[in-house]
């Protein structure tokens, strides 16, 4: 595949001149783009057709046409420059594998409908954090063919002069940040928060979900994995409460395994962003771990308080790479959003009004702008934030409505051209999380549907016709920019990684041997190459995998009957000891009230369903 162009270039019509007459013959060069992992039987379901015309037939394994669909009108999707049609096949609910045919020609035979569709995606996205562990060997029992010796086992690390100190500290554990072996507090911040919130929102689901990692006492797997990084983050706090920015070598290592990277490590810098990101994360950790380990939870809370105090006294200490350091900077000059995030989470945990924050505007979160994380906290804690909560919820809905409208056309994804930046796949996943928060607080099903469509995009329904997750889908990345996957001698990359995705920046293009040839297409959604050289489109990173894991995990949990305790979604029906009880319907105010096991679930009026708070759910 020539990824410079990415898409098959066909002309749908050939004109031939015969005896002076123009005869048109249709050349069927259509392509069907699908979620290559599969679709949930009970969900709304779409795929995309390009360069096609006519009705689409969906055929089962026996050759029987089970559904014929008229595609929606064609429209131009600007990010890829394609005229495409969405095909809604929601009527098909039977579990199985199907073929897609257009005008009798089979376009593909890997259309899957299943239950628990994204459970394995969730497990693999979370299991990848185990593969990223520093300071420990990965045993074959857990890592299989990707087992490896421990790397970066030296606990004693020198303080770089940029920290303002001298000597050494003990710092080990944590996750390697991306395709390199650095560990960065700022990026660990949004990553660890995202995973903590996944557990906090769906504790009953994640108490029992397991994916073969080493046990950490009685902790659920998700909390065991998160604690491995929290333990490292806690080592990065100085005695004055401030937090060091990163733990790296002075430059990036070569394509070697962790155990073979022997460049000296340094603790580098100290700043407001790292300190306040740390404070927010530790405040969440304090309440999440309290039921399991009150001592550890209190340690996290005291660390959060000390960090917040330092950040309040040093509100504008921005980090810049020292002159002798070239590893990831994660520099940020706008530090008000970190204060809002840290204060919001400390207020939720402690109830101390001195921490309370207000957010008047916020965007979809990323490592450099965590205002959206503060917005989530305010929107989902109505009792604590009182008058501020409705305004936060309105912001969630306002942007979600825009996302829903975008998802009605093109590839059915909420992204527009400006969203194709470095790590565009994480932008998409975080947009999905934003939509889910709006869904939690309103019950508006269109928000859920748009969030689920993000998974469709990430797992294959995109103009590159590929799943962006290693090891999943009919076609997935084979050569990610990830040093262990390059140097381990295993042909398959480590599974479960979300690559950064298409974007037109081309920061990795150049003439050096380790740089890429120009793969840009002139369209942001197709400017991508599956090549190890491409750190700008094909690298992996913890802050990209975390929102993928949240999105897939939350959708699985919701469909398993779990709802966040703060949400306005109807409580899920629960099975009785002898099986599922029959629901009862009673008339109320010209409508019907559903009771399940004696519990009121929703009210239906005029064909529309409302939860018991009066919010529409269907």
Residue 96: C-alpha distances to residues 40, 117, 152, 467, 592 (Å): 11, 12, 46, 20, 34
Token couple for 11 = 């002309």
Query: How far is Cα 161 from Cα 142, in angstroms, rounded to an integer?
Result: 39
- For 528-578, the DSSP string reads ---STT-TTTSBBBHHHHHHHHHHHHHHHHHHTT---TT--SPPPP--BTT
Residue of 246, 209, 216, 207 lying closest to 122 (CA atoms): 209
Residue of 152, 160, 437, 481 marked active site: 481
Angle between helix 185-201 and helix 542-559 axes, rounded to 10 deg: 0
Check the CA dihedral 194-187-147-476 and report its sign. Answer: positive
- For 95-157, the DSSP string reads -EEEEEEETTEEEEEEEEEESSTTHHHHHHHHHHHHHTBSSS-B-HHHHGGG-B-------EE
Residue of 46, 338, 539, 556 marked active site: 539
Instruction: Kindly report the number of other CB atoms within 10 A of residue 165's CB atom.
Output: 16
The answer to whether 544 and 429 have CB atoms below 8 angstroms apart is: yes
Token couple for 559 = 């469909």
Residue of 180, 221, 261, 338 marked active site: 180
**Residue 319, φ and ψ in degrees, nearest 5:** -90, 135
Token couple for 591 = 């409508």
SS3 assignment, position 53: coil
- For 429-473, the DSSP string reads HHHHHHHHHHHHHH--HHHHHHHHHHHHHHTT-STT-S-SBTT-S
Contacts of 6 (CB under 8 A, 6+ apart): 463, 464, 521, 526, 528
The answer to whether 482 and 539 have CB atoms below 8 angstroms apart is: yes
Active site (annotated) includes residue 180: yes
The answer to whether 542 and 191 have CB atoms below 8 angstroms apart is: yes
Residue 388: C-alpha distances to residues 28, 163, 236, 360, 564 (Å): 56, 38, 34, 9, 20
SS3 assignment, position 241: coil
Active site (annotated) includes residue 530: yes
Residue 184: C-alpha distances to residues 71, 245, 340 (Å): 47, 6, 21
Query: How far is Cα 500 from Cα 427, in angstroms, rounded to an integer?
Result: 9
SS3 assignment, position 285: helix
Beta strand ranges found along 189-255 (DSSP E): 244-248
Residue of 120, 338, 345, 530 marked active site: 530
DSSP, res 369: B
Query: How far is Cα 175 from Cα 482, in angstroms, rounded to an integer?
Result: 14
Active site (annotated) includes residue 481: yes
Catalytic positions: 180, 481, 530, 539
């Amino acid at each position: 595949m020539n990824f410079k162009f990415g898409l098959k270039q066909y002309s749908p019509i050939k004109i031939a001149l015969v005896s002076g007459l123009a005869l048109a013959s249709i050349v069927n060069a259509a392509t069907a783009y699908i979620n290559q992992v599969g679709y949930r039987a009970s969900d709304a379901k779409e795929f995309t057709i390009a360069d096609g015309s006519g009705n689409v037939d969906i055929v089962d394994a026996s050759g029987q046409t089970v559904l014929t669909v008229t595609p929606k009108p064609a429209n131009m999707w600007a990010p890829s420059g394609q005229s495409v049609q969405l095909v809604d096949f929601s009527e098909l609910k039977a579990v199985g594998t199907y073929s897609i045919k257009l005008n009798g020609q089979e376009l593909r035979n890997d259309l899957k409908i299943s239950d628990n569709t994204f459970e394995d995606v969730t497990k693999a996205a979370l299991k990848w954090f185990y593969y990223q562990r520093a300071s420990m060997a990965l045993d074959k029992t857990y890592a299989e063919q990707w087992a490896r010796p421990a790397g970066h086992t030296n606990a004693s690390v020198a303080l770089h002069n940029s920290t303002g100190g001298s000597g050494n500290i003990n710092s080990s554990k944590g996750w390697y940040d991306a395709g390199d072996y650095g560990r960065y507090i700022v990026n660990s911040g949004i990553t660890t928060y995202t995973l903590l919130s996944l557990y906090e929102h769906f504790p009953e689901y994640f108490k029992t979900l397991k994916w073969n990692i080493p046990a950490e006492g009685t902790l659920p797997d998700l909390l065991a994995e998160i604690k491995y990084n929290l333990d490292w983050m806690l080592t990065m706090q100085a005695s004055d409460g401030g937090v060091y920015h990163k733990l790296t070598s002075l430059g990036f290592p070569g394509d070697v395994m962790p155990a073979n990277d022997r460049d000296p490590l340094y603790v580098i810098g100290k700043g407001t962003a790292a300190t306040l990101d740390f404070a927010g994360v530790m405040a969440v950790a304090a309440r999440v771990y309290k039921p399991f380990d009150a001592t550890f939870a209190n340690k996290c809370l005291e660390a959060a308080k000390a960090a917040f105090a330092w950040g309040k006294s040093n509100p504008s200490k921005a980090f810049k790479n020292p002159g002798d350091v070239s590893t990831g900077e994660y520099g940020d000059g706008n530090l008000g959003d970190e204060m809002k995030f840290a204060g919001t989470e400390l207020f939720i945990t402690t109830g101390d009004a001195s921490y309370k924050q207000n957010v008047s505007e916020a965007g979809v979160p990323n490592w450099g702008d965590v205002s959206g994380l503060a917005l989530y906290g305010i929107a989902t804690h109505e009792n604590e934030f009182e008058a501020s909560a409705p305004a936060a919820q309105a912001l969630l809905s306002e942007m979600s409505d825009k996302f829903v409208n975008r998802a009605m056309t093109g590839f059915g994804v909420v992204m527009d051209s400006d969203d194709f930046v470095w790590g565009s796949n994480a932008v998409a996943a975080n947009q999905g999380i934003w939509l889910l928060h709006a869904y939690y607080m309103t019950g508006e099903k269109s928000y859920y549907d748009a969030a689920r469509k993000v998974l469709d995009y990430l797992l294959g329904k995109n103009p590159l016709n590929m799943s962006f997750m290693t090891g999943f889908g009919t076609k997935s990345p084979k050569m990610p920019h990830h040093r262990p996957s390059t140097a381990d001698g295993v042909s398959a990359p480590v599974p479960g990684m979300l690559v950064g995705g298409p974007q037109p920046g081309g920061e990795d293009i150049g003439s050096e041997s380790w740089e890429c040839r120009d793969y840009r297409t002139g369209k942001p959604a197709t400017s991508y190459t599956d090549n190890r050289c491409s750190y700008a489109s094909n690298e992996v990173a913890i802050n990209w995998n975390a929102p993928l894991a949240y999105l897939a995990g939350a959708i699985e949990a919701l469909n398993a009957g779990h709802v966040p305790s703060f949400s306005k979604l109807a409580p899920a029906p629960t099975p009785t000891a002898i099986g599922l009880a029959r629901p009862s319907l009673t008339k109320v105010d010209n409508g019907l009230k559903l009771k399940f096991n004696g519990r009121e679930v929703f009210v239906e009026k005029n064909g529309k369903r409302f939860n018991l708070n009066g919010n529409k759910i269907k």
